[in-house]
Amino acid sequence: MLARFASLAVAGLTLAMPLQAQTPRPMLDYDTAATIRDTCIAWAEERELTIAVAVYDEAGRLITFAFMDGTATAVTDFAMWKGRSAATVHVASKETANWGQGAPGVATWEGGVPFFTGDGVALGGVGVSGADSADDTACGEAGIAAAGLRPAAD
């Protein structure tokens, strides 16, 4: 009987509390991911580079992927590795490369860039491979900028 009374009291208190609207957490949508991908491909084409690009959401799910004609299979795999690492760790692979051979799945080559909202909420990461490391990173950052996002949380 006491347990039933306690549960009724808790239910009554819960109903008496005002409901507060929670702001939904921003999530990466396909259109934004496609903007990052397409801008990166255009950036590479302008520079006559051959790259692969993979865009992941913050949970590490592949949202979109593309590779240019002539891209080697290993390059596509590296782009996915870099992108997933940046998306889930929220740190650019340029930095995680300094961590050495550590955690599984953490990229140790430059070219993976996380991206954030203007408020610093992590949305995902982009991985680019096929060009020089600095160009891979610059390509990803061009896509991020075109989508109105930031490559760093701060």
Distance CA 84, CA 19 (A): 37
pLDDT at 103: 78
Contacts of 109 (CB under 8 A, 6+ apart): 78, 82, 93, 97, 129, 133
Distance CA 115, CA 41 (A): 17
pLDDT tens string, the chain, 154 residues long: the values are 545 544 444 444 444 445 567 888 899 999 999 999 999 999 999 999 999 999 999 999 999 999 999 999 999 999 999 999 999 999 999 999 888 776 788 999 999 999 999 999 999 999 999 999 999 999 999 999 999 999 987 6
Chain position carrying tokens 């929220």: 90
Distance CA 99, CA 56 (A): 22
Spans of all domains in the chain: 29-146
Q: How far is CA 71 from CA 5, 51, 53, 128, in A?
A: 68, 6, 11, 12
pLDDT at 23: 80
Distance CA 92, CA 87 (A): 9
pLDDT at 12: 47
Its pTM stands at: 0.84
Q: How far is CA 5 from CA 2, 10, 12, 15, 109, in A?
A: 5, 9, 10, 15, 61
> Residues 45, 66: contact at Cβ < 8 Å?
no
Question: How would CATH label the architecture of 29-146?
Answer: 2-Layer Sandwich (3.30)
Packed helices 30-46 and 133-146: angle between N→C axes, nearest 10 degrees: 130
